[in-house]
């Protein structure tokens, strides 16, 4: 099956708020970097590239990943699941995806044996330096 961009956008199933979840994965090593949400306009902008665009549920507006920090995600591939209600975006991550300084937002791990949570990611920057008000 081959779909046009317009058909691709029409096939996606958005939730009651007009959003679809998007899992972002590093194109080079498949590490899951983050999960964000997109409305139809953000999906369309991401399809045009070069950067991933999301819809902020808290700020009620669209945003390009890295617009404040410079830590952009360059779109490489886009997949969607069998229900068409979730996207998988493979991207080239520039510096870090996590706004608190880690490469991935998934930097904490729960251990079922010890029943403890540990930090498993490396902190790449201090967020107050990157996101300081100027």
Cα angle, residue 132 at apex, residues 32 and 125 outer, rounded to 5°: 40
Look at residue 13 in the predicted model and tell me its pLDDT. Answer: 98
| Residue spans per domain, the chain | 5-100
Per-residue pLDDT of the chain (134 residues), as tens digits, is 898 999 999 999 999 999 999 999 999 999 999 999 999 999 999 999 999 999 999 999 999 999 989 999 999 999 999 999 999 999 999 999 999 999 999 999 999 999 999 999 999 999 888 886 54
Report pLDDT for 60.
Answer: 93
Q: Cβ(98)–Cβ(65) under 8 Å?
A: no
CATH number of the 5-100 domain: 3.10.20.810
Q: How far is CA 50 from the centre of its chain?
A: 14
**Amino acid 70: pLDDT:** 93
pLDDT for the residue numbered 133: 55
User: In angstroms, rounded to a whole number, what is the distance separating the alpha carbons of residues 93 and 82?
Assistant: 26
pLDDT of residue 59: 92
């Amino acid at each position: 099956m081959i779909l046009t961009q317009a058909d691709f956008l029409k096939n996606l199933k958005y939730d009651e708020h007009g959003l679809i979840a998007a899992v972002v994965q590093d194109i080079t090593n498949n590490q899951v970097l983050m999960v964000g949400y997109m409305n139809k306009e953000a999906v369309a902008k991401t399809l045009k590239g070069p950067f991933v665009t999301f819809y902020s549920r808290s700020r009620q507006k669209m945003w390009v990943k890295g617009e404040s920090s410079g830590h952009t995600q360059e779109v490489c591939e886009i997949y969607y699941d069998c229900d068409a209600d979730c996207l998988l975006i493979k991207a080239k991550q520039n510096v870090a995806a996590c706004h608190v300084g880690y490469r991935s937002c998934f930097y904490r791990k729960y251990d079922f044996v010890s029943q403890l949570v540990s930090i498993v990611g490396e902190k790449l920057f201090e967020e107050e330096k990157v996101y300081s008000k100027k």
